[in-house]
Amino acid sequence: MKHADSDTLAQLAPLLTQVRQRIPPLKEKGVGKFYLKSTAFLHFHQDSAGLFADLKVDGDWQRYPVNDLADYTLLLATLDLQLPGSP
């Protein structure tokens, strides 16, 4: 599975816009590559099975599909729970 290229990231523009609304505390160090403090936190992959996000959840990478609005909603909800100050 390879990291998402610029064309793939363009397809994810609505999702990336939502993620960017979480800055700060997130920092985007490259298009689609987000860090929390100095630690890699979220990035995207593509392969023949679809598009995926790797999100650091409780210190471990978890892979989430990001192929439709329902996938986006789940990823963003999980992301919000991992940010400082979340319940």
Domain count, the chain: 1
Is residue 14 assigned to a domain?
Answer: yes
Which pairs from 34-39 meet CB under 8 Å and 24+ separation? 36/82, 36/83, 36/84
Residue-level pLDDT at 27: 93
| pLDDT above 70 for 87 | no
Say what the pTM is.
Answer: 0.91
**What pLDDT digit, counting tens, does each position of 19-45 carry?**
999 888 899 999 999 999 999 999 999
Residue-level pLDDT at 62: 97
Is residue 40 assigned to a domain?
Answer: yes
Residue-level pLDDT at 31: 92
Is residue 65 assigned to a domain?
Answer: yes
Range of the domain at 13: 2-82
Using pLDDT thresholds of 50, 70 and 90, give the confidence band for residue 84.
Answer: confident
